[in-house]
Amino acid sequence: MDWTEKVVEGCRGCNSALENHYDEVLQTGRQQLELRKRETTQQQQTLSKVNPSLRLTPEQIAIATESRERLSQAVIQRLHKDNQEIFGEDYLNQKEKQS
């Protein structure tokens, strides 16, 4: 999401409707990631209280990281789909012609 934000910053001023939609999707995605991060932390704290030996293994941390990355990709795919619905199937082609 950080990468997409940098890309969009370079395109700001071209399409306010698309920018507003992107900002909403980005905010939702960041909120979902933060929520999942808090949930994971709370679960880990609960497990640690029940049994201090139940700490996340490197493999479990890798799985959690992969899950966050998949969620980021899902947000980007949703944004792309929404853009197609708003601007039509060829909205990318139209953007390329403008540049």
The answer to whether the CB of 31 falls within 8 A of the CB of 17 is: no
Confidence of residue 63 (pLDDT cuts 50, 70, 90): confident
Residue 98 clears pLDDT 80, i.e. is over it: no
The answer to whether the CB of 5 falls within 8 A of the CB of 26 is: yes
- Closest to 39 measured CA to CA, from 71, 15, 7, 82: 71
Least confident of 14-23, 24-33, 40-49: 40-49
CA distance 2 to 20: 17
In the block, residue with structure tokens 């999707």: 25
What share of the chain has pLDDT > 90, as a percent?
A: 12
Query: What's the start-to-end Cα distance of the chain, in Å?
Result: 24
- Closest to 95 measured CA to CA, from 28, 84, 23: 84
